[in-house]
Structure 1
């Protein structure tokens, strides 16, 4: 399984619900930001077990289409625990944390949640647990797990606060060969990435309209929101959306402005789902399956859906992430997994769940499903390779791994707040033809105000 499926999808499609919750960031306290090398043991990390001979009750906050009844029953049987399920909800989580009565395990997005909660000293440093584990070895962790490390300044360094369950490099894309052939277009290379300009040009050539309305989308480029793709595009242009201190964004820098202009052009062209004209299907798969989308900007996980439909998989191929310049970057926007709150009452029991879920049979089942890249390197060989479709996707994905890069997110505000600014600002500015420079100025003003408030609240 993977971690980006939208609400309302079938239980196994549980990954795309990735934008968590609300915009509040001031309910929580916290001050100091620790520093140390990623995966280095920093402190003793206390824990509380069940005790008394009775079964420990482990409270887990997750999505019910990921941690379903079958998985809960298997965990209870394997671990000798009772699991109390709590539906994921940012408002509820922040209230539980503020009341010092948090869940024992929380589903989260390492790419954007780790800095926010670690900066508030709300996450358990897991280095001591990894150091003692015979199941989960740091040397076996895929580099995507470094998105769960935060040293107070950047991700990829400092204590390890969580682990991803599976992942994708989210700017890679799938395409339908039948629609390319009908348009008499060459298929994208399996080895050499397209430029973003080439990708946009393909979208223009592949879109089909009838009576002024889109009949077939040429390109879907913002299936994971708008801010995260802009981060990735800016990085591939050689820059960063965030300032060095992570306390501001700058859409006016040459690299970020290049990415913003691309997004504005994509939106104006109305060649695919966008912030002005969203996909009525809610996500890419129903549209792609119905032969109404030529290019789906979704990572490896999307192949799990494609592989379940023989007719669609026969005409589908996978391609490397497009790039803006010589700095080839292919990152993950989510790295969805679990973390243990610092105030959790059953940390040892939560770690047992960690080992079972991330290193036991559930991890093996996820690896063979095609719904994401396993986050233990030792399980990569278990990724499906039995069909021509699976072999092509596996080979493209294996080559892409060397271009993975950790991109640091700000600890001062949650992703939902920044995506909300884009959703509220871009439609009017696109419709009015506002120049990119003025759009950049407006985004800088609105986002930096939110970030400043979050920094002030953090103290």
Structure 2
């Protein structure tokens, strides 16, 4: 399946290509450059990164020049432009992507450089030091989580976890969830129904928000929690009518229907959970450790906030995946690979990585950097204890290589609201989702060839 050396990538493989996911920016940290790589250099060269503005701030670009001697040139992350650059044979040197949903997609289309030889020689990014979350960036030609490494996450959270505000629980007379033992999804929704506050038919305080980073990762993760898999063994089909996937879908439809939290039929006016939770208008938010970066800056909010484990279904299994894992990959046709790897090492293992670890906006993806996670205040110590306990339950929930999360979500968002409004049954919506998404997966499989 590999392309011939120097041959441009087939445009057919990139039809309907799209990618998404938010990434928090990294703050520059002066005077903290760690050990320097051996085996590759690149001083005096220029490396082109296709990233979003928040991925690498101007001061970090300047610091890269100072630390490595390499000039970084950035290109705005744009799928159409990426396709054009890849198909013309002149891609960027490094490209940002969301590991959980993009790795299998790009790797199956044979455009990613295998990075194992680089990791093997690196004294900065040692394989033994890589957090298991980096397995999101592996793909063996069939299943994500195994095989060659194609990239690395800059930081991560276990995105099925949730924060809760103890003051809203106190007001409603609801017991706090455990910070070490998972509640069931059924119990989570029951709590949300008790915590929601309404006035004149309008929701004034959301009982809880639970929609995952994307509906694609939400459905894959909750189906895994129910004990099954959303995708067939070869990832070419979904089956929402399987007992486990139907249980996950029915739970989410019920969550939306009861209007205890934001959804397609009851959008959050703020567009995301952060400001709503900060304003005391949300009792529980399905946001992982990363939201602690915001919570910690609010002296009123931090003492009443707790981080709880990912829920699980009654009779299911305990899984706590990462639904993001944003990082970078190197195109197979990149022209400046050694210098690109040096920037990769610097970004993922040196000053920027150290700054991210200190900031509390994500868990470091190098185990050796975990001691830098904030643990000064009682709130931070409590959060860290809950997070460290949850790390034991991390696992990769593999995603299909035959569609993108955005394309999956577009169909889900078109089909599911009728069930959320009670106009059609869960079984009807399951059948419609199967028809539409399986047609999309079939086309994607044909593109890969």
TM-score, length-scaled by structure 1: 0.88
Q: Structure 1: which 5+ runs fail to align?
A: 1-23, 29-46
| Rounded Cα–Cα distance in structure 1 between residues aligned with 2:144 and 2:371 | 27
Residue 399 of structure 1, aligned match among 385, 389, 398: 389
Pairing 1:62–2:51 present: yes
Deviation at 1:433, TM superposition (A): 2.7
Aligned to 1:65, the other structure's residue is in SS state: helix
Q: Is the 8 A contact 1:75 1:81 kept in 2?
A: yes
Report which stretch shifted further, 205-214 or 421-430.
421-430
| Rounded Cα–Cα distance in structure 2 between residues aligned with 1:190 and 1:228 | 23
How large is the Cα RMSD of the aligned pairs? Answer: 1.6
| Rounded Cα–Cα distance in structure 1 between residues aligned with 2:187 and 2:336 | 52
Deviation at 1:225, TM superposition (A): 2.5
Q: Which residue of 1 aligns with 2:61?
A: 72
From the superposition, tell whether residues 269 and 27 of structure 1 become closer, same or farther in structure 2 (CA, over 3 Å). closer
Q: Which residue of 2 aligns with 1:142?
A: 131
From the superposition, tell whether residues 48 and 95 of structure 1 become closer, same or farther in structure 2 (CA, over 3 Å). farther
Residue 198 of structure 2, aligned match among 182, 194, 209: 209
Pairing 1:258–2:247 present: yes
Pairing 1:342–2:332 present: yes
Pairing 1:106–2:95 present: yes
Work out the number of aligned pairs and report it: 415
Residue 85 of structure 1, aligned match among 47, 70, 74: 74
| Rounded Cα–Cα distance in structure 1 between residues aligned with 2:325 and 2:342 | 21
| Rounded Cα–Cα distance in structure 2 between residues aligned with 1:151 and 1:347 | 22
Deviations 1:6-57 (A, max 9, x none): xxxxxxxxxxxxxxxxxx94278xxxxxxxxxxxxxxxxxx9986xxx8312
Deviation at 1:149, TM superposition (A): 0.4
Q: Which residue of 2 aligns with 1:189?
A: 178
Deviation at 1:351, TM superposition (A): 0.5
| Rounded Cα–Cα distance in structure 1 between residues aligned with 2:40 and 2:183 | 52
Q: Which residue of 2 aligns with 1:327?
A: 317
Q: Is the 8 A contact 1:219 1:293 kept in 2?
A: yes
Report which stretch shifted further, 256-265 or 348-357.
348-357
| Rounded Cα–Cα distance in structure 2 between residues aligned with 1:300 and 1:271 | 23
TM-score, length-scaled by structure 2: 0.90
Q: Structure 2: which 5+ runs fail to align?
A: 1-12, 18-38
Which runs of 4 or more aligned residues in structure 1 lie more than 4 Å from their structure 2 counterparts after TM superposition? 47-50
| Rounded Cα–Cα distance in structure 2 between residues aligned with 1:66 and 1:25 | 24
Q: Which residue of 2 aligns with 1:229?
A: 218
Q: Is the 8 A contact 1:194 1:322 kept in 2?
A: yes
